[in-house]
Structure 1
């Protein structure tokens, strides 16, 4: 088997050690530094892994957990289907399960993957809802301060911070700002500001 391991962290200050603990010397490593809200097929290393699979260079992929593939149930299942159609085995370490059994899709694996991805999606939505509720309560009490005064980022720093949003805006110019906000998991106001900066700077 030609093996690969896919790892993902959201920002450079996070560490990959935990995901690499089960790494084997014969595995080709693909490390992405990108938000989990970005579709697997749109990630730099995700694309390279998919290309390697299409070139029949890889037929076995390991990930530490389901959420490394994505936070969106549709994206996770789409990626799994891509693997299955090309007879590539996907192993999820923390489940101890593989997507193929005797060269056939493992339906139990797909069911468990669907449930876990759906739960993760709901947990993220609930977390966002609790954050908004906390902000609303703090505002009502007069204790919400928002961004610390004097900490405003420059336009270039702001665009670098939301580079994944910049990329999606440039790649999906016909998409509404509201849909882009949902796709990139940021607020509508953030997408509007980025879009305005890109337009003004003609990026």
Structure 2
């Protein structure tokens, strides 16, 4: 049974070394790693590669399930995909092994807590931003769209798609700018 490791950190200033070493010690022949958010599966090319490649009898190993997914739905989708291929999921730091009933139950419990933790962090962040705004400390990020450029191009008779392309912004952003100008 080949064992494949997956390591992930959220930002470029975080280090993957400890995860990669733990997965190698656990017997992973191949370890794929990436620096990308775990709140969605979009943009996680290394994980996609592993999920496409994995076969019956193979094991996907992570150090902890929060390295694999931050939502119950994503985690369940990944586990379902592994199961449909005849593969299983294990973790080095948690008693997770989807080839056993107890391992599956523990996985589901941890997934709920991982999602709960993400939601709490998001709430705390929003509370902190609201407090900073109320104190006049936080004003949000600086605008990246030059409103006068958008308006000037519109005055030249250009449509939203052309304006967006010229300025390298989304068409929806053009519409938002133009709505505020009315």
CA RMSD of aligned residues (A): 2.7
Change in CA separation of 1:154 and 1:133 when aligned onto 2, cut-off 3 Å:
same
What TM-score, normalized by structure 1, do the two folds share? 0.63
Q: Take 2:3 and 2:133, find their aligned partners in 1: how far apart are those partners?
A: 52
Higher mean C-alpha deviation, range 25-34 or range 44-53? 25-34
Give unmatched runs, 5+ long, in structure 1: 101-105, 156-195
2:153 maps to what in 1? none
Q: Take 1:90 and 1:127, find their aligned partners in 2: how far apart are those partners?
A: 26
Cα distance per residue 1:19-58 (max 9 Å; x no partner): 1232146511111222101227x6211111112114x6x7
Q: Take 2:21 and 2:32, find their aligned partners in 1: how far apart are those partners?
A: 14
Give unmatched runs, 5+ long, in structure 2: 147-167, 173-182
Instruction: Give the one of 90, 108, 124 matched to 1:130.
Output: 124
Change in CA separation of 1:82 and 1:18 when aligned onto 2, cut-off 3 Å:
same
Cα distance per residue 1:75-98 (max 9 Å; x no partner): 101111111222213111111332
Contact kept? 2:5, 2:28, Cα under 8 Å:
no
Aligned residues between the structures: 149
The structure having more radius of gyration, on CA atoms, is 2
Alignment pair present for 1:16 and 2:23: no
1:34 maps to what in 2? 36
Instruction: Give the one of 88, 100, 107 matched to 2:101.
Output: 107
> Per the alignment, in what secondary structure is the counterpart of residue 37 of structure 1?
coil
What TM-score, normalized by structure 2, do the two folds share? 0.70
1:181 maps to what in 2? none
2:61 maps to what in 1? 62
1:7 maps to what in 2? 7
